[in-house]
Every structure is written in C-alpha cells, then in structure tokens.
Structure 1
Amino acid sequence: MTVNGDILQLEDVAKRFSVRRSPFAPRRSIRAVDGVNLTVRSGETLGLVGESGCGKSTLARLILKLHDVSTGRISFLGQQVHDARGRNLSRYRRQVQAVFQDPFSSLSPRMTAGQIVAEPMIVNGGLSSRETDERVADLFDKVGLNPAWMERYPHEFSGGQRQRIAIARGISLNPKLLVLDEPVSALDLSVRAQILNLLKDLQRNLGLSYLLISHDLPVVSRICTRIAVMYLGRIVEIGPAREIVANPRHPYTKALFSAVLPEHPRAHHQRIELEGEVPSPLDIPSGCRFRTRCPIAVERCEVEPPANLMINSDHMAECHFAIEKPNHGGELK
C-alpha cells in the first residue's frame, strides 16, 4: 500500500472527565486519554486495540470532535482542528466520517435506506435532488447493494446489508478518513469477511485512510498496516502490524496477542495470563501504569515512568525493557 504522508496527527492529546463516586464525595478527575501521540498516514489502516475501558472509544470521539480535548493538539492535513468551530468544524467533519458497531441502532428506523445515505449530502448542500438520487444509487452499487432497494427501511435488510448502508453513508461526502469502531463485531463470520473485503476495495478505489478500533485481533492483524496498543489511556506500543504480531516488545502487547489461537492446530502456542484487575483510571499506578499486572516488573517500574523506546524508525514501545531484559534476569514471556 502506498503511503503519501500523514493525514491525521495527535500530539500529547488528553481528555479528563470530572466525576464523583457518590453524591457526597468530592469530585475527582479521570484521565480517560492521557498524553496520546498518534499519526494516521494517508492510505493506511491503523488498528487501535486494547481491553475495554482503556480509552479507545474516547480517543475516537476526540478525533470525530464529539468531545473537546482537555490538552494537546489534533491536526488534519497540516491544519489544527482540535479547537475548530463553525465552518472549519463543518469542513473537518465532512472529511472525517465514522462507521459504528451496531448498524441497526445507528440507522434511523423512520428513514428509508436511500434517505439515510442521502442525508449528509442534503445537510451539506451543493447537489440538486436529481444529482443526490444519482449519487445515492451509485453509492449503493459501490457497497454491493441493489439501487432498487433504496426505498426499503432498515428492518428489511440483513445485518451485513445494514452495515453496507452505514458504509455508503460514511463515504457519501467523499471523506479522507473513516473511523471504524468495531465495524464487523456484530456480524456472522461469513458476512464479516465480506464487509472487510468491501472496506479493502473501497480503500483501494477511493484512497481512504482507516482508523480501525477493534477487539478482534485476528482481523486487526490481517487488514491493518500498523497497530497501536492502548492501556489505561496511553499508547504503550505502536508499529508495523507484522512486527507487532510477530515480535511485540511490550509485555501487555505480548499478553494480548498470546490470546489469539494459532492458525495451525499443531503450532506451538503459549498463553500469557495476566494477574490482577485493570486499575481504575481514578487511581492510575505510579511509575509504569502496567506494573501491577506485569510479569517482569522491577522496583524501577514503580518509581520511574517508562519513556518511549524506539525499536526501529517505525516501532515504539513504552517499556523500560522493550530493548533489554530486566536486571533480575526475567524475560518477556
């Protein structure tokens, strides 16, 4: 896949929410996203993985401008957009669209499929009624739906067909970036493969970039150019998909991908079981935030936050021992 520069850049992006545990307790700050640096390149699929509650969806909402950042900067095609308002915000949102997990709940049951796909074009204007209808028919064809079905309602389609409608709506304004939040997790395996192939074809034909958020590690491994691993609000490892899968350097990444069954039943496979629970974002551990569950943690991990160690020019891990072994002789098992 050809990569022609960066399309989206996040620099030290953070999002904090003020909460209280009970009506009489003082308010405290949750660091849902905590100093994230991330780049999406033109024409690539960047996978974002991690356990539930790690901040993936909050990060997606920051990118989609559904939340405002607390600190940090977001740039799109070289222009700062984290504080965009008015026309600048509308222009940005036309270029960054989303496809969500459950197509049935994300599509209005009171609108026909054609109206659903046409709505973004009508809101943004610029096309006549005839041109809009022609564009909708063309989009149906692009996503593998019969244009004759434009008058049907969402409940008349299967799950896979509804997701095709959602994708058609997502590309209706010719965006440059699609945020895909678990786009196939609610679908059957056979339908899942069809939707993934459709996304790959659209990316190739339309020059799209994808940010794919998923718990499905085999899917992420198969279709992503690079993979970013998130834990408690931070990116702890990022690099080319093949390197992340074959040679992860952060203990958390190793544990995540060890849960994926090998393709061949006789292949050697060792599952890494993490002990303990994921800490609350209200009480993030000192030093390395993963140390309370890490099988190789040492005293240094408790007092010194790890820096971003560069494995090579395109592979980073936030771990003291991403390159060398800990001094107690343990290994990244």
Structure 2
Amino acid sequence: MKILGIETSCDDTGIAIYDSIFGLIFNKTLSQSLIHNKYGGIVPEIAARKHLLNIIKLVKNTFKKTNININEISAVAYTAGPGLAGSLLVGSTFGLSLSYSLNIPAIPINHMEAHLLSVMMEKKCPIFPFLVLLVSGKHTQLIYAKKIGKYYLLGESLDDSAGEAFDKISKELGLKYPGGPEISKISRFGMLNKYIFPKPMINRKDLNFSFSGLKTSVINFIKKFSFLNFQIKADIANAFENSVIDVLVSKCERAIKKMSLNRLVVAGGVSSNILLRKKLKNLLFKYKGDVYFPRSKFCTDNGAMIAYLGFLKFKKKNFVSNLKIKVYPKWKIYK
C-alpha cells in the first residue's frame, strides 16, 4: 500500500510517498521563501501561482526518482485546510483530479492534525493520551490528544501566533523571511537580559496566549534607534525570543499540572526552535515525563506528514467518495 501526499496549505509545495511496509520512501519540498522574502511575508496570490508551476513538475519527478509506477499508488492524500484558500485549491484540485484519473480514493487532510501526528513517524513516539503544543506561523494552541481523531482545545492565542510575531520582528530588524530561524540565528550573539520585554499572560491561570502586545512593544522599542548595528539586533532578538519561549514553556507547565499528564508533543514550524526544545526538555525532566519532537524537516510544512496521516485514514476507510472540491481555510481539529 502506497499513499501519495500533497501539501499546499501555504507557500511550500510538498510531495511524499508513504509505504505501509517500508514507511516514508520519498519526501520533497519546494520552498517559496526566497520569493516572499522581498515582501516580508507571504503574498497569497503569488503562493498559489507558484504551486501551480511546482506541483506537476514535483509529482513527475517523484515517480521518476523512486522508479515507482503511478498505478502502484493506493490513494491520494491532500491538504484541504486550514491555510490559504488559493493554495489549498491548487493541491485539492490536483489531488482529486489525480485520484479520479487513477480510480483510487482521495483523502482530505487537516494540515494541523498532520503536524500533530508527524511525531509518530519517529522511532521515539508517545502513547495516547498526551498534551500537544502546536506552534506555527498561524497557530499557537495547547491540545489534549485523547486518541487519533479525538482532540480537545485547552488554550490558544487570542491574537497573533508565536510564528507571526517572529516573522514581524524579523522584518522590523531587517532580517529575512521566515523570521523564526533568522531570529534564532542572531539571538545566539545577543547578551542575555540586556533588554527586557513583556511576557504576556504568563501569570494568568488559563492556557491561552497573546503575542500582539509583545510584538507592538518590541516594534516600538526598535523605532527608538536611529541605527541598528549587529549587536543591538542580536540583543533585541535574544530578549524577544526569550520572552516568547518563556510564555510557551510556562503555559505547557500549567497544562501538565492541570491535566496531570507528563507526555508532551511539540509540533509546527516553531517547534524546531533550539531554545524551546532545550527548555521543554528540562521542564519534562522536572516532571519525570517525556517531550516528543518531529525531526526538523518535519516541523515545517511537508508532504510526508500528509502522506502518513493519509495512510492512517486509508486503513480506516476514511476517504471521500465524491469529486466535489472543498477547502477549509479555517478548519479546526478540536472539539
């Protein structure tokens, strides 16, 4: 059984093949970061157009490199949401069309559920139930995962996600897009506690987040400087990153106590942050628990997680039987 996975939720075109016996046998992502970097963020129309150019080329190359006959594919899994509507339509239309031409099932996938379960492709993976910190460019959520398909929201960002805040501050500092990796790179050269920024809602007893106020505070601070040299940028990046990470870790600790559960999965683009990983490992050691991360290449958007979740759904015969194209830009996974 081989499942083709197609990921086009935002600006990365991802294609993968997951095999029921051998696991992941192909995974390739074409990034648009260089294109959107000059705009300081993603331009939805450009992203959708690039997906149109990339997807057929990438799928053809997939079968050429793997020497797999396209007729060996058992089902096509594609991201149906959440994400940018135009980008989702490209992948969904292609995925459904391909499944129809091959007379095989099509499986619409929730992008965030795929992120949540991407850790299951690792040798070290959790048993249910567990807590999940989903932290990406558009989402910051704490979720209780009871079993596959049964997720409950514990808390979420009331405004900007952590990833959005990273992107915005990176732009203000004159760094590249996406902002998370750029902030982390320069932060290493910053002086700890040189500047102190707010840690929004860190003392509130609920499990919600807010990063808009922190973002505004840092932007206003940056504007006080007539010139930003490398060291000033590094010091600001260090202080900002520590504020965000401290909030995320604090809320995770609160969730561990509230749910009496010491298994934590961290997924989404920001989960590759080295400082976040270090502090969460220390936190779970304190509670004699375990924290689980996907490999860095599975933290950002990719076709592998779509193909894997497609495989799980195919086994349960959870796929569409009609060819109506539907996308869900604000699709939620939780109850």
Give the structure, 1 or 2, with the largest relative contact order (CA under 8 Å, sep 6 or more): 2
Larger Rg: 1
More helix by percentage = 2
